[in-house]
Structure 1
Amino acid sequence: MDRTMSIPMLVLVALLFFWIVGATQRLKRLRAAAGAAYAPLASHLRQRQAVALALAHASRPLLGDEHALIGRLVETAQEAGRATDAAQIRNMRGSSLHEIGEAEQTLGQALDQLVSALQDLTSGTGPVAAVTELLRQRDTLQEQLGADRHLYNHAAQTYNDALHIFPTTLVAALLRFRDAPLLAGAIATARTGSSRPMPMI
């Protein structure tokens, strides 16, 4: 009798084991996909930071070496670079992407202010060729960053949704899987209970 009862139990245990393994592998695969989607975003962020530094350098003959806008642009570009480095080291955990969003938002404001000063200086005729090319690169990167952000958010949300489907949520809690933070405008956040929005990159 005991032997007869043990067979169904063994079958159930085996099924549970294989289900846990399958659920774990799926979560790992979705998490890896979110990480892969973040890679081009990080690359384009670094390119924009490099363009900002190059623009600051190219603007010195027009505005003067000690112009406050140039110093602010250099400072904000370097801060954005540090935030990007920190996010990679921390594997996008915690508030790392939020810190990138804030740093890049500040960098964007500094870029806009410098561009405005250059346009005022040249009386609407446009800045010198080197500056014009850097501004073109900035605009191209802005479009690429928008597309990167959309792809990353889609991959991250797919992973997050999988975490919160019962009974997979039990495996996620047991193995300490965490939500991937989202990057958006003023409304979307990671589903971690925080109401703090991610600034737009």
Structure 2
Amino acid sequence: MSIPVLIVAALLFFWIIGAAQRLKRLRSAATTLFAPLSSDLRQRHAIALALAHASRPMLGDEHALIVRLVETAQAAGHTLDAAQARSMRGTALQAIGEAEVALLQALDALALHLQDLTSGSGPVAAITELLRQRDTLQEQLAADRHLYNHAAQTYNDALHLFPTTLVATLLRLRDAPLLASGAAPSRGGVLVSRPTPMI
């Protein structure tokens, strides 16, 4: 084999190694930036459980809305645990989205019921504070979502840039799902694309 051919082969080899390392680094950055969003979701689970507990004196322990909220909050937590144990692979974000939309619906249903009971005067102090925390948390979710989306889009762009896309195909790398707002600001949700289930 001639020296020019060997040089070209060596350059190609080192380019492939470099491209693969860059893609893995970008994917790792996106995964790392999902961690704060995950922390916010866990905080919302805690707020939901605290709201259920604070509502018991007013509604009773076995009220259907309270039972539903507790069950969906616990299920959302278990789903997030399972997804992180799998390093957010496969349909992990999809599963989180489905669990979180159930939690959001249960959380909103209880909040609206409590507001109806108080005839527009607002819930008791503890419940009012928990609802305030829920709304404040949405702002943090939006900020974390923006950072994650930027990193994920950077990775996706690199993934589809020729000839890097050939390396991506060789390594079987896939697009990172993007997150988008999926609810009114006061209802604190994010959506996952692919198709888009709510978080």
**Deviation string, structure 1 residues 63-82 (Cα, Å, up to 9, x no partner):** 11111000000011011111
Task: Select which of 61, 66, 73 maps to 1:65.
Answer: 61
Give the CA deviation at 1:118: 0.8
Q: How does 1:72-111 map to 2 (within 5 A)?
A: 72-111=68-107
Task: Select which of 121, 127, 134 maps to 1:125.
Answer: 121
Asked if residue 154 in structure 1 is aligned to residue 150 in structure 2, the reply is yes
Tell me the distance in 2 between the aligned counterparts of 1:54 and 1:65.
13
Deviates more, 1:179-188 or 1:51-60: 179-188
SS of the counterpart of 1:124?
Answer: coil
Match of 1:200 in 2: 198
Are the equivalent residues in 2 in contact too, given 1:83–1:100 (CA < 8 A)?
A: yes
SS of the counterpart of 1:199?
Answer: coil
SS of the counterpart of 2:122?
Answer: coil
Tell me the distance in 2 between the aligned counterparts of 1:166 and 1:67.
57
Match of 2:175 in 1: 179
TM-score, normalised relative to structure 1: 0.89
Deviates more, 1:78-87 or 1:172-181: 172-181
SS of the counterpart of 1:52?
Answer: helix
Tell me the distance in 1 between the aligned counterparts of 2:152 and 2:21.
16
Task: Select which of 46, 54, 64 maps to 2:50.
Answer: 54
Give the CA deviation at 1:159: 0.8
Task: Select which of 27, 31, 36 maps to 1:35.
Answer: 31
Q: Which amino acid in structure 1 is aligned with residue 196 of structure 2?
A: M
Q: Which structure would you say has the larger Rg?
A: 1
TM-score, normalised relative to structure 2: 0.90
* Aligned residue-pair number: 191
Asked if residue 144 in structure 1 is aligned to residue 140 in structure 2, the reply is yes
* Structure 2: runs of 5+ lacking an equivalent: 183-190
Give the CA deviation at 1:183: 2.3
Give the CA deviation at 1:200: 3.1
Work out the percentage of aligned pairs sharing the same amino acid. Answer: 76
Are the equivalent residues in 2 in contact too, given 1:73–1:107 (CA < 8 A)?
A: yes
* Structure 1: runs of 5+ lacking an equivalent: 190-195
Are the equivalent residues in 1 in contact too, given 2:97–2:192 (CA < 8 A)?
A: no
